[in-house]
Amino acid sequence: MDLISYLRENAGTVLLYGEQHLLVVFFAIALGSTISIGFALLVTPGEAAPQRWSLDWILGAIRDGALLVTAAALTVPSLALLVLLLPLFGLGAATTVTALTIYSLYSVLRNSVAGLSSVDAGVLESAKGLGMGRLRRLIRVQLPLAWPVILNGIRVATLIDVAIAAVAALVRGPGLGQLVLTGLSRYGAANAFNQVLVGTLGCLVVAAVFEIFYAIVERLTVPRGIRV
């Protein structure tokens, strides 16, 4: 059976797996981004030049430690992490979402810290002169200016998670990886190659959908003058 015929006969199944893939990545990215951006806001210095041994210096040390830990987590092979999570969450979506969330942390945290820290000191001083406290400066000044950089980090994390979500089929994770895994296990049988090809192309389509979504978000939330 050729690819077109296979798609015609199995369109419902392919669409279901594609929807599962998109949703599992979406939930993981939403959770990972919330954790990373929230943490970055907590540990980002609110002063233009924090003093050594001040609270801001201590927060900076915590921030650097978190970046080191999340970077180390990103280097753990995906299959190994999925297996390590099995005793805690079992087979299925919970393990998949947890693993994808862990893999999303570094890119979003790194870009959040970089974006928040790169805001011009003069802008922070002006905001302070207007009577804004640290929290208001973070929320009203630093976060909006850092948002384009943060959004790029979210985009990178999403592409990573789209790929790793396919591997999660080995622990019965939802998504297009089920097609790839089934095709590989049946390699040489009828339609096995079509299953692998459709699963792979489906991941590319899911990635493209996310890219379109982020392009729309960028256009709606980022002023043209500060787009990166």
**pLDDT tens-digit series, residues 90-135:** 999 999 999 999 999 999 999 999 988 887 767 766 766 676 767 7
- Exposure class string for 73-108: b at 16+ Cβ within 10 A, else e: ebeeebeebbeebeeebeeebebbbbbbbbbbbbbb
Out of 75-84, 135-144, 168-177, pick the least confident. Answer: 135-144
Matching residue, tokens 């950089």: 149
More confident residue, 106 or 3: 106
Give residue 109's pLDDT.
96
Q: What does the pLDDT average to over 132-141?
A: 74
Of 13-27, 31-45, 140-154, 180-194, which has the strongest mean pLDDT?
13-27
Q: What does the pLDDT average to over 133-152?
A: 82
Give residue 59's pLDDT.
77
Give residue 58's pLDDT.
79
**Checking phi first, is residue 92 left (phi over 0); if not, alpha (psi -120 to 50) or beta?**
left
**pLDDT tens-digit series, residues 51-68:** 545 666 777 788 889 999
The whole model's pTM is what?
0.88
Domains present along the chain, CATH in parentheses = 3-226 (1.10.3720.10)
Q: How many CB atoms lie within 10 A of CB 114?
A: 16
Give residue 100's pLDDT.
97
Of 57-66, 72-81, 139-148, which has the strongest mean pLDDT?
72-81
Q: Give the span between the Cα atoms of 174 and 176, in whole angstroms.
A: 7
Q: What does the pLDDT average to over 164-187?
A: 90
